[in-house]
Chain A
Amino acid sequence: MSVNKTEITEKLKEILLSAGDGSFESIDSVNEQTRLQTDLGLTSVNMLYLIIATEEEFGIRFDNVGMNEFKTVGDVVEYIGERLQ
């Protein structure tokens, strides 16, 4: 499966939007530097949602990686990209 970074980021934004139950005003301004916790205010359960939804959406597994290792949107995008290769 070949998916470029922009496509991954766009799909991830959709997931983030539903993870926050539609409450992020600034989803359009989300970029790779956006911090998951401080900027988006994701809680531990939002993070769990993000990971489960990403696995379902992209058909990948988050193996051997702790949720706390993802600080920014870019970290998640990069991880997904690596798993899809």
Chain B
Amino acid sequence: MIANTLEQYRAYTGEETFSRIKPYETLAKMWEERSAEYAGLTAVSDDGKEYTFAALADDVADFRAVLKPRIAEKSRVAILLPNSYDFVKAFLAVVTLGCTAAVLPAHLDEKAVAGTRLMFGYDALITLDAQKASLCPDLTVISPSVTSGEKCPAAECDGKDGCTIIMTGGTTGRPKGALLSNTAVMQGVINSCLGVPGTFEQRYMLVLPLSHVFGLIRNMLASLYTGSTLHICRDNRNMFRDAAMFKPTIMVLVPALADMALSLSKKFGKNMFGDSLKTIICGAANVPQYLVEEYDKAGVALYPGYGLTESANLVSGNPENLNKPGSVGLIFPEMEYRIVDGELWLKGKNMMDGYVGCAEPDAYEDGWFKTGDLVKIDDDGFLYITGRIKEVIVLPTGENISPAELEAEFNTLPFIQDSQVFEDEDENGRRFLSLEVVPRAAEVQKLATDDVNTYITEALQKINESLPTFERVSKIVIRKSDFERTPSMKIVRYKKCQ
């Protein structure tokens, strides 16, 4: 079926906003026009400095001149930078040179960087920390601080050309990249503006990582496209101090952060994000209905949406005048969808060109991308996520966890026979990662301890603490019996949370 047409969205969006939504085939063309149109407005506020669109355009042209002699035409260039003005400048310089920017999570160490290079095949890395490239001796490392004193024009490029590669676990949890063309990214940006009147010339505060599709497209690129100001909060511990100073009008949040801000606002009896905040775009994980209702009481419209890395962010969103709590909204124009055995399949201009770094032959069928999400659509066309057939856990923070990968870490202990990582829920609905293990009896007997359970727990805890914070389990249970098994002896996976 074809989703709602652009014309249908005209009414939802409002004529004033809709008339400013213009399609572009490439990000280079969009940046050329929009940076000129908004030249005098502030594009980015970061680390105590403000940069107008004109100043950013100058810095981007300067950095293109730094990059051009160092990188091949239409090549892939990785960006390993924390959220910062440097990231914005580097990303725009790479893509307006007609190259593809592989945006890497800033916390990756040198081993992980080497892994991404094998997967994505980039020849250059933009980073402030050259040590991160120490395992890749032939990699060209470029610091974003280097300037050329010259202005290099944007390259000619096409909508079909690659724009960005974003890391994802996809439907299987195996790490890989989603390759998004210029056309896909631009459609993703336009989807960001549909359905919410007054999305132009806003004040966005960025707290999500720019290596994530939600931060990159819905936050950074939507802000640049709409002539808005993007304030970069460098440390989330300072987000409310930053908010008091910057006065954001719109935030893009994962449910866990929206929930945290709500709890703090209640505890301290004030709107922690300030009274200028009118809109929250919320997604990347299941959005509880009470968040919509509670923010509404505080005069803030929170719009749940649904998107994927593979779809250049948004697949559906809630138009302002049709907000249905519990639904992830109406499927955006330019998308085609099918529901096959309850699973949502997609086609459209915003869809990726495929995965890089990992063959996933089951990702597509008959040209349709199989989302792995189970859905239903009501009579008004609103989409509801009813479950997931993916082998990944999406935390309330929006981070994707591959249980199989974590289990492999715990299974390295010789006295662990098998383990299962799953999302658990307490009686109050709070979700957390849990680990259950089955000890290997023969090895356990060899342990030189009187207190086996404590010994095993401490060994597991040590591995746990070596993992990135968001991957750590919060509960460890040592089982006395094996897991329930399927006839083929696979562990029957717990499904405590849907």
B432 and A41: CB pair below 8 A?
Answer: yes
What is the bound-complex CA distance between A68 and B237, given in angstroms? 13
Chain B residue contacts of A51, Cβ below 8 A: 237
Chain A residue contacts of B256, Cβ below 8 A: 43, 45
Q: Which of A23, A37, A45, A47 contacts B426 (CB 8 A)?
A: A23
What is the bound-complex CA distance between A48 and B256, given in angstroms? 11
Q: Mark A1-18, 1 if CB is under 8 A from B, else 0.
A: 000000000000000001
Residue of B nearest to A36 (CB): B474
Q: Does A49 contact B (CB under 8 A)?
A: yes
**Distance to closest chain A CB from B264 (angstroms):** 6
17 interchain pairs (CB within 8 A)? A18-B267, A21-B263, A23-B429, A38-B461, A38-B474, A42-B474, A43-B395, A44-B397, A44-B469, A45-B397, A48-B236, A49-B263, A52-B237, A52-B260, A56-B264, A62-B237, A67-B237
B469 and A68: CB pair below 8 A?
Answer: yes
Q: Main SS of chain A's interface residues?
A: helix
Q: Which residues of B, 411-466, contact A by the 8 Å Cβ criterion? A: 426-430, 432, 461, 464
Q: How many A-B residue pairs have CB under 8 A?
A: 66
A49 and B469: CB pair below 8 A?
Answer: no
What is the bound-complex CA distance between A49 and B237, given in angstroms? 9
Chain A residue contacts of B160, Cβ below 8 A: none
A21 and B397: CB pair below 8 A?
Answer: no
What is the bound-complex CA distance between A33 and B240, given in angstroms? 30
Q: Does B128 contact A (CB under 8 A)?
A: no
What is the bound-complex CA distance between A53 and B429, given in angstroms? 22
Chain A residue contacts of B260, Cβ below 8 A: 45, 48-49, 52
Q: Does B248 contact A (CB under 8 A)?
A: no
**Distance to closest chain B CB from A81 (angstroms):** 19
Q: Does A74 contact B (CB under 8 A)?
A: no
The number of chain A residues touching the other chain, given as a range, is 20 to 34
Chain A residue contacts of B464, Cβ below 8 A: 38
Chain B interface residues (CB < 8 Å from chain A): 236-237, 239-240, 256-257, 259-260, 263-264, 267-268, 395-397, 426-430, 432, 461, 464, 469-470, 472, 474-476
B264 and A44: CB pair below 8 A?
Answer: no
**3 tightest CB-CB pairs across the interface, nearest first?**
A41-B474, A23-B428, A45-B256
Chain B residue contacts of A20, Cβ below 8 A: 430
Most chain B CB within a 10 A radius of its CB, from A18, A21, A52:
A52
Q: Which of A22, A42, A53 contacts B264 (CB 8 A)?
A: A53
Chain A residue contacts of B472, Cβ below 8 A: 37
**Distance to closest chain A CB from B295 (angstroms):** 16
**Distance to closest chain B CB from A73 (angstroms):** 15
Chain A residue contacts of B263, Cβ below 8 A: 18-19, 21, 49
Chain A residue contacts of B264, Cβ below 8 A: 49, 52-53, 56
Chain B residue contacts of A49, Cβ below 8 A: 260, 263-264
Chain B residue contacts of A37, Cβ below 8 A: 472, 474
Residue of A nearest to B396 (CB): A45
Given contacts A43-B474, A44-B397, contact A56 B268 (CB under 8 A): yes
Other contacts beyond A48-B236, A48-B260, A49-B263: 8, CB < 8 A: A23-B427, A41-B430, A41-B474, A43-B395, A45-B260, A48-B237, A52-B237, A53-B267
